[in-house]
């Protein structure tokens, strides 16, 4: 398995006016992220509107990303499914794509299975496909607790980590203390990337790094270097950006933020609406501010 630590960007999915995948824009975005120095990318996540992607759509964006990355960085794919049967089918649809891991949510529609069912859900996937799996713990009414997550990682060797998004920061802190050795715990708590890096998170897969990858990379390096003066400045800038991105069209807001930096992003898929004029103004101010902080450079030179 490749090194999957660091800043892994959940890239957006560019759509054209007909709602189809814009391959040229997708390739341009992968090149943009590699040029910025990110440690990996994930297609088809929440920021990538993965819940709207068919099996064929997901396979297409994954294939494009793997081809464009050409082994330079790891490529992950997000999988959303509401049944074990559909999860396995989606995993198998990707089985010949040279991905480095799958990012897989628990079931996300209303009903949360019991622990034994969730164990069986992930085991069915890892029995069917030969990919490492990262659990994307985001679904508000189906947040998997630390006991269950530790059990899954302990009993299923192919589950290599957890992307902790929903719930309190304590859940991430508990996982960092209790996870089996060698497992990866990622932060997806955009407003708290700095403290989660301080706690020892092995990286981030989150929307605000997708909107301003250089800022997330600078924060990651500042924490590693112990430059907390610079890290705190970056935290404040990233928090302002996150506050500008939040809303019921966050992927569209991320697309607008990236477009300001010269990255091709396409349109959101209907019925999601593009960033409003009010959002655009707030996002532009936040992007300019956080990029100015990055340009100012570390406190320790």
Q: How far apart are the first and last CA of the chain?
A: 34
Q: Which CATH class is domain 6-226?
A: alpha beta
At CA 96, angle to CA 82 and CA 144, rounded to 5? 30
Q: Comparing C-alpha atoms, which of 230, 234, 244, 236 is closest to residue 285? A: 244
| Predicted pLDDT of residue 193 | 97
pLDDT single digits (tens) 264-283: 999 999 999 999 999 999 99
Q: What is the mean pLDDT of residues 102-119?
A: 93
- DSSP state string for 38-97: -SEEEESSTTTTGGG--HHHHHHHHHHHHHHHTTSS-EEEEE--SSHHHHHHHHHHTTTS
- Binning pLDDT at 50, 70 and 90, where does residue 117 land? very high
Token pair of 24 as six digits: 């040229």
Helix (H, G, I), strand (E, B) or coil at 98: coil
Q: What is the mean pLDDT of residues 190-204?
A: 97
pLDDT single digits (tens) 225-241: 999 999 999 999 999 99
| Domain spans, the chain | 6-226
Q: What is the mean pLDDT of residues 216-229?
A: 98
Q: What is the mean pLDDT of residues 198-211?
A: 98
């Amino acid at each position: 398995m490749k090194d999957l630590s660091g800043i892994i960007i959940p890239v957006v999915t560019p759509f054209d006016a007909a709602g189809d995948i814009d391959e040229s824009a997708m390739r341009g975005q992968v090149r943009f992220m590699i040029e910025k120095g990110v440690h990996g990318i994930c297609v088809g996540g929440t920021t990538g509107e993965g819940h709207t992607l068919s099996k064929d759509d997901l396979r297409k964006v994954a294939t494009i990303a793997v081809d464009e990355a050409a082994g330079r960085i790891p490529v992950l794919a997000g999988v959303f499914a509401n049944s074990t049967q559909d999860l396995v089918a989606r995993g198998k649809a990707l089985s010949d794509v040279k991905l480095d891991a799958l990012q897989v949510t628990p079931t996300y529609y209303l009903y949360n299975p019991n622990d034994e069912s969730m164990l069986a859900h992930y085991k069915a996937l890892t029995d069917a496909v030969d990919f490492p799996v990262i659990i994307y713990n985001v679904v508000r009414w189906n947040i998997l607790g630390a006991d269950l997550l530790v059990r899954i990682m302990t009993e299923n060797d192919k589950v290599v980590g957890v992307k902790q998004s929903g719930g309190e920061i304590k859940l991430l802190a508990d996982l960092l203390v209790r996870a089996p050795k060698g497992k990866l715990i990622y932060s997806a708590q955009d407003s708290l990337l700095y403290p989660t890096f301080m706690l020892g998170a092995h990286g981030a897969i989150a929307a605000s790094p997708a909107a301003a990858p250089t800022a997330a990379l600078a924060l990651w390096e500042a924490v590693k270097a112990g430059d907390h003066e610079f890290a705190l400045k970056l935290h404040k800038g990233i928090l302002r950006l996150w506050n500008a991105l939040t809303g019921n069209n966050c992927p569209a807001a991320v697309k607008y933020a990236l477009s300001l930096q010269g990255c091709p992003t396409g349109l959101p898929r209907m019925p999601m609406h593009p960033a409003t004029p009010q959002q655009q103004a707030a996002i532009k101010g936040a992007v300019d501010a956080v990029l100015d902080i990055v340009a100012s450079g570390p406190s320790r030179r």
